[in-house]
Homo-oligomer: A and B are copies of this chain.
Amino acid sequence: MTQFKVGDRSISFEPGVRLVASSTVVGPMEAAGPLGRYFDKVLPDTKYGEKCWEGTESKMLQEAIKTVIQNANLQERDVDVLITSDLLNQLTASSYAVRERPINHLGVYSACAGFAEGIIIAGMALCGGFVGKAVVGVSSHHGSAERQYRFPMELGVQRPPWAQWTVTGAGAACLSSPAADSPVVTRATLGRVVDYGVKDAYDMGVAMAPAAADTIEAHLRDFGLTGEYYDLILTGDLGRYGLEVLRQLLTRRGIELNTQLDDCGALIYDPNTQDVHSGGSGLGCAAVVFNGYILKQIRQGRLRKVLVVCTGALHSPVRIKQNESIPTIAHAISVEVKQG
């Protein structure tokens, strides 16, 4: 009965779940970065006509969902399930984005690993024959995230050099089954909650690196692959410091990646001209880099096999004040162009 279970941690979607369409909405700062030209829509400012950032984030997510449905040449009623995630307490951005929409909704949370978690659940729903079309949409917003997780921006608290910048962005993907066309999601590896004891709410990239190493190792083991199988192994939002820690952790575990290892948070901003310290973070980071930049590279044949490892810091400001450390998780999905 468990014909799609692989090893301890993984599942196979063979022949694959098709990525029909994608969409991205970003803020002005993300548009000014090196990947700016790959994004579908750029907000004129960080408020976007709303009185508060929480409202802006919902509006961005709503637009990303609307756009991906259009890009897939579908109507809202054709979508059997919409899976969303965001960082705001009680999935606030999600709940208000889909409020009163005639669409079945599942909310998921694994912090910035939410995009991959959504794809995994959508993949099971599609591949298992429970739905015909699914949309996964996620978002983050610098303003709403900073005041919730750290300090209100107006306070002007100095950020340490290892801090990351929460991406203002929403990304969505529309998936269908069967895999009539490329690219397809072929495999997934589920995360486990890892905690190496980091207590600094600015040091998310380093906190999450062990979870990424754990999931990459499990993925390669479960499928009997070496790192070279992939053209690119791309983590979600470790930033430059976190990426360096991940490289070291993988080396210690005997995993030498000749393949390219990179991170969405290290790619999205220009460190020379944009004051973001270690790089980008947030659910929007992996979602817009993957749905904007990477998927276009795949569609144009520049990449054929990519492992996307979305990393999440399951950070609770309340627990940090109670002297607790930050649990983390990473979920991985592989996206491939099928031969033939």
A327 touches B96 (CB 8 A): yes
User: Which of B4, B102, B107 is the one whose CB lies under 8 Å from A129?
Assistant: B4
**This protein's copies in its complex:** 2
Give the contact stretch, choosing among A40-48, A87-95, A156-164. A87-95
Give A246-293 interface residues, CB cut-off 8 Å to B. none
User: Which of B1, B100, B106, B318 is the one whose CB lies under 8 Å from A92?
Assistant: B318
User: Which of B2, B88, B108 is the one whose CB lies under 8 Å from A316?
Assistant: B88
Knowing A2-B130, A89-B318, A132-B5, the reply to whether A107 touches B99 (Cβ < 8 A) is no
Q: Give Cα A3–Cα B126 distance, bound, in whole angstroms.
A: 10
B121 touches A130 (CB 8 A): no
Q: With both chains docked as a complex, state the minimum distance between the C-beta of A23 and any C-beta of chain B, in angstroms.
A: 20
Give the contact stretch, choosing among A67-75, A135-143, A187-195, A232-240. A187-195
Q: Give Cα A192–Cα B132 distance, bound, in whole angstroms.
A: 18
Q: With both chains docked as a complex, state the minimum distance between the C-beta of A335 and any C-beta of chain B, in angstroms.
A: 18
Question: In the assembled complex, which residues on chain B have CB atoms less than 8 Å from the CB atom of A80?
Answer: 2, 5
Q: With both chains docked as a complex, state the minimum distance between the C-beta of A233 and any C-beta of chain B, in angstroms.
A: 20
Q: With both chains docked as a complex, state the minimum distance between the C-beta of A191 and any C-beta of chain B, in angstroms.
A: 6
Q: With both chains docked as a complex, state the minimum distance between the C-beta of A262 and any C-beta of chain B, in angstroms.
A: 25
Q: With both chains docked as a complex, state the minimum distance between the C-beta of A329 and any C-beta of chain B, in angstroms.
A: 6
Hey, what's the 0/1 contact readout for A166-210 against B, CB within 8 Å counting as 1?
000000000001100000000000111111000000000000000
A322 touches B51 (CB 8 A): yes
Q: Give Cα A316–Cα B318 distance, bound, in whole angstroms.
A: 16
- Choose among A104, A177, A194, A322 the residue with the greatest number of B CB atoms under 10 Å from its CB: A104
Question: In the assembled complex, which residues on chain B have CB atoms less than 8 Å from the CB atom of A11?
Answer: 130-131
Hey, what's the 0/1 contact readout for A1-18 against B, CB within 8 Å counting as 1?
111110011010000000
A interface, by DSSP: helix, strand, loop or mixed?
Answer: loop
User: Which of B2, B105, B110 is the one whose CB lies under 8 Å from A107?
Assistant: B110
Q: With both chains docked as a complex, state the minimum distance between the C-beta of A108 and any C-beta of chain B, in angstroms.
A: 5
Question: In the assembled complex, which residues on chain B have CB atoms less than 8 Å from the CB atom of A96?
Answer: 316, 319, 324, 327
B95 touches A316 (CB 8 A): yes
A98 touches B193 (CB 8 A): yes
Contacts A98-B193, A121-B121 known; list 4 others, CB within 8 Å: A5-B130, A99-B195, A102-B192, A106-B108
Chain A residues near B (Cβ < 8 Å): 1-5, 8-9, 11, 51-52, 54-55, 77, 80-81, 87-92, 95-96, 98-111, 117, 120-121, 124-125, 127-132, 148, 177-178, 190-195, 314-319, 322, 324, 327, 329
Instruction: Pick 20 A–B contacts, CB within 8 A, sort by A.
Output: A1-B132, A2-B80, A8-B77, A54-B316, A81-B190, A88-B316, A90-B111, A90-B314, A98-B193, A101-B192, A105-B190, A105-B191, A105-B329, A106-B117, A106-B190, A107-B108, A121-B121, A127-B130, A128-B130, A148-B318
- Shortest 8 CB-CB contacts between residues of A and residues of B: A128-B128, A95-B314, A104-B190, A89-B89, A92-B316, A107-B109, A3-B129, A99-B327
